[in-house]
Structure 1
């Protein structure tokens, strides 16, 4: 199994309510055992080490999933730009621009947005059916 498939499946599992409640239950069990172990250093070390290891590994899983989702989103936006007649195809290669160029382009779009007003309660016009 590829790491990306594994990380995608693991991130879905880790983000579920069931996993959250399992983690919460484990913490409650750990907390309840405190008096039995007299709250000693080993008892504290168990939760500290466990959470540190899990957090360290999850960083890589989450980053891989975010990278994949980001790539998918960019491909979808690129396809919309490509299919839109009035869109500038140069927008398909924004990732090759440096920070200064991107900032200038952002200002251009902000200026376009400043020319328009938005009314929140106004219904959105529907496109005529073909």
Structure 2
């Protein structure tokens, strides 16, 4: 379908591995080891710098890996939702790829659906049903 992006594969695998309990436990063990080594190094500036530098580097790199993975996952979910809208009889195709619209346009759609929700709740309070596919106005 498309060529494999090496960075995307690496990011996804790394993100999955780093999300496992074993990796968290390893990180906690490293912190505990660092804390316990404090008296050995006299709680020196270098001792503190080691953990600060290490965690900063790891955090900096993980931000990019996780963001890449989340962006791809979000895009895949949006495409799946778009396909559901496209394939559903009576669905509003204008809702396809809403994530590409400006905030003002999204607010217009949101107001329409808020009005539909209010109308449905009003129908329920009057003993009517709230099912169906009413048109947005």
TM-score normalised to the size of structure 2?
0.82
Q: Confirm or deny that 1:68 pairs with 2:72.
A: yes
In structure 2, the partner of 1:13 is 17
How far apart in 2 are the matches of 1:107 and 1:78? 20
Residue 86 (structure 2) aligns with: 82
Counterparts of 2:120 and 2:19 in 1: how far apart (Å)?
A: 39
Deviations along 1:75-118, one digit per CA (max 9) or x if unpaired, are: 11011001100111121132342211111111111111112248
Residues 11-50 of structure 1 mapped to structure 2, 5 A cutoff? 11-50=15-54
**Cα distance in 2 for residues equivalent to 1:62 and 1:47:** 22
Distance 2:97 2:51 in 1: 47
What is the aligned length? 118
TM value normalised by structure 1: 0.86
Secondary structure of 1:115's match?
Answer: helix
The answer to whether 1:56 aligns with 2:60 is yes
Over the aligned positions, Cα root-mean-square deviation in angstroms equals 1.4
Q: Distance in 2 between matches of 1:14 and 1:97?
A: 34
1:127 aligned residue: none
Structure 1 residue aligned with 2:107: 103
* Unaligned stretches of 5+ residues in structure 1: 119-130
Q: How far apart, in 1, do the equivalents of 2:56 and 2:41 lie?
A: 21
Task: Identify which of structures 1 and 2 has the higher relative contact order when contacts are C-alpha pairs closer than 8 Å and 6+ apart.
Answer: 1
Is the Cα contact below 8 Å between 2:78 and 2:97 reproduced in 1?
Answer: no
The answer as to whether partners of 2:8 and 2:69 remain within 8 angstroms in 1 is: yes
Separation (CA, whole Å) in 1 of partners of 2:28 and 2:113? 46
